[in-house]
Amino acid sequence: MSVETIMTRAWQRQAGWLWLLLPLSWLYGLITLLRRQAYRTGLFASYRAPIPVMVIGNITVGGSGKTPLIIALVGYLQQHGVKVGVISRGYGGDSSKMPALVGADSVPSDVGDEPCLIVNTTGAAMAVCPDRQQAITTLLNAYPDLQLIIADDGLQHYALQRDIEWIVVDVARGVGNQQLLPTGFLREPMSRLKNASVVYHKKPDTVSTPVNQKYNPQNHDQDKSQPLSTRLTMQLQPDNLQLLWQPVLPNVEMNSLESINEMSPTKGSQIHAVSGIGYPQRFFNTLSALGFDIIPHPYPDHYDFSLTELLQYTQHPIIVTSKDAVKIKTLLTNKLSLETKTKQALSDEYKELISRLWVLPVTAVLSDSCYADLQQQLQGLGVHIESDKEGAISTL
């Protein structure tokens, strides 16, 4: 079991031994404060992009739903005439190949899984690099007519100046014991939410409620004067299950797959739920709510799966997230391409695996207040949003 998994489970159950790490949290908090002040006062240099920058991130470790939020916003802006690009650090990719543009033919091992997912879903202009200035420069050199850049994560990357900040808070997960790393899973203190636009990620078809006795979204200063109807909220709605291999093998001979019989998951049936995202429990809860009897298999965030690992999950269908599917599709494509080149028949073992691999896409559904807030913020920056088109919610 990895250290990441041990810590994640300890944070989830708020294990008592975490308080022994409190001195480390104090030190982490001091360093974070001093670093932010250094950028604020100009002691450390920061970069101002030539066009507006919108940063979307979170103050917690692990997934909060920001990637589907970005996909939804990019789709909305594209439908409303805004030329928007995206940058990311490209976590999980090969930094020696960065800065790099992300295209439809990019692979996760080069640029990261989330950038591949964003581009494959939206077709947006995108660049990746740990140095966000280099990412922006690369992006604007290729797409000089962009009007807005959305930074995937980077909330704590103060070397990049930003015009808009949206922070995603997962209401279901909450903030645990409200302590900074490593005692808790906060990257920054709760006060960091005060001057940003906070998007509350809540369960589908529910009203925001206190997520635990210590944390209530209604207690934040910015929300005390803000009625529930105008609060920025989002939900992730599951879509129909899709076979994983179908959309990604256009250049591979399909003869070896003709004998595959799909093992379609049905409500009430037992399935393997495989997830390598920041907060896999959300994925497991969604599958349970859909009526599946799940066998959970959590992996660390951005985990590099192997086909050999997946072969061990037998007898039942395997359902993965869209983020994990990006990497697994690449593995399958490489495997099938190799079989085609060597004129070898795909083994029954791999045929059976392919028949059992399914993806559960989700759609980010944003409240009207999110779009109203976005329009107001962009108009203040001189970015015009066309009002005669219907908004679109993006799927991931």
Pairing relationship of beta strands 100-101 and 125-128 according to DSSP bridges: antiparallel
Angle between helices 322-341 and 113-122 (to 10 degrees): 90
Q: What is the pLDDT of residue 393?
A: 38
Shared domain for 172 and 279, answered yes or no, is: no
Residue 100 lies in a domain: no
Residue 225 lies in a domain: yes
Residue 386 lies in a domain: no
Omega before 130 within 30 of 0, i.e. cis: no
Across 73-83, average pLDDT: 97
Count the residues in the chain: 396
> Looking at the predicted structure, is the pLDDT value of residue 207 above 60?
no
Lowest average pLDDT, out of 4-13, 186-195, 297-306, 378-387, goes to 4-13
Question: How does residue 178 score in pLDDT terms, banded at 50, 70 and 90?
Answer: very high
Give the integer Cα–Cα distance in Å for 159 and 45. Answer: 7
pTM above 0.85, yes or no: yes
Instruction: Cite the beta strand spans of the chain per DSSP E.
Output: 53-57, 84-88, 100-101, 125-128, 148-152, 164-170, 197-201, 233-238, 242-243, 270-275, 293-298, 318-321, 357-360, 362-366
Work out the percent of the chain whose per-residue pLDDT is above 90: 72
Omega before 182 within 30 of 0, i.e. cis: yes
Residue 169 lies in a domain: yes
Shared domain for 336 and 248, answered yes or no, is: yes
Render pLDDT for 349-380 as a digit per residue (tens, 0 to 9): 998 999 999 999 999 999 999 999 999 999 99
Shared domain for 216 and 249, answered yes or no, is: no
Residue 396 lies in a domain: no
Q: Which two tokens stand for residue 380?
A: 């203040």
Give the integer Cα–Cα distance in Å for 372 and 141. Answer: 31
Backbone angles phi, psi at 169, to 5 degrees: -120, 120
> Looking at the predicted structure, is the pLDDT value of residue 131 above 90?
yes
> Looking at the predicted structure, is the pLDDT value of residue 386 above 90?
no
Q: Higher confidence at residue 112 or residue 255?
A: 112
Reduce the DSSP state of residue 112 to 3 states and report it: coil
Give the integer Cα–Cα distance in Å for 2 and 204. Answer: 31
Work out the percent of the chain whose per-residue pLDDT is above 70: 87
Residue 323 lies in a domain: yes
Q: What is the pLDDT of residue 261?
A: 57
Shared domain for 250 and 165, answered yes or no, is: no
Shared domain for 302 and 218, answered yes or no, is: no
Question: How does residue 345 score in pLDDT terms, banded at 50, 70 and 90?
Answer: confident
> Looking at the predicted structure, is the pLDDT value of residue 212 above 50?
no
> Looking at the predicted structure, is the pLDDT value of residue 202 above 50?
yes
What is the domain count for the chain?
2
Shared domain for 368 and 227, answered yes or no, is: yes
Q: What is the pLDDT of residue 145?
A: 98
Shared domain for 78 and 181, answered yes or no, is: yes
> Looking at the predicted structure, is the pLDDT value of residue 76 above 70?
yes
Shared domain for 205 and 60, answered yes or no, is: yes
Give the integer Cα–Cα distance in Å for 123 and 119. Answer: 5
Whether 119 contacts 102, CB under 8 Å: yes
Question: How does residue 346 score in pLDDT terms, banded at 50, 70 and 90?
Answer: confident
Whether 184 contacts 29, CB under 8 Å: no
Shared domain for 344 and 374, answered yes or no, is: no
> Looking at the predicted structure, is the pLDDT value of residue 17 above 90?
yes
Nearest to 130 by CA among 181, 85, 105, 93: 93
Residue 322 lies in a domain: yes
Across 166-189, average pLDDT: 94
Lowest average pLDDT, out of 87-101, 197-211, 227-241, 326-340, goes to 197-211
Q: Which two tokens stand for residue 104?
A: 């439809």
Render pLDDT for 296-320 as a digit per residue (tens, 0 to 9): 999 989 999 999 999 999 999 999 9
Question: How does residue 160 score in pLDDT terms, banded at 50, 70 and 90?
Answer: very high
Q: What is the pLDDT of residue 90?
A: 96
Shared domain for 176 and 292, answered yes or no, is: no
Residue 132 lies in a domain: no
Render pLDDT for 275-291 as a digit per residue (tens, 0 to 9): 999 889 999 999 999 99
Whether 64 contacts 169, CB under 8 Å: yes
Render pLDDT for 218-260 as a digit per residue (tens, 0 to 9): 444 444 445 555 689 999 999 999 999 864 444 444 444 554 5
Whether 163 contacts 53, CB under 8 Å: yes
Shared domain for 230 and 367, answered yes or no, is: yes
Question: How does residue 203 score in pLDDT terms, banded at 50, 70 and 90?
Answer: confident
Across 200-215, average pLDDT: 53
Range of the domain at 286: 242-360
Shared domain for 251 and 330, answered yes or no, is: yes
CA diameter of the chain: 68
Q: What is the pLDDT of residue 214?
A: 34
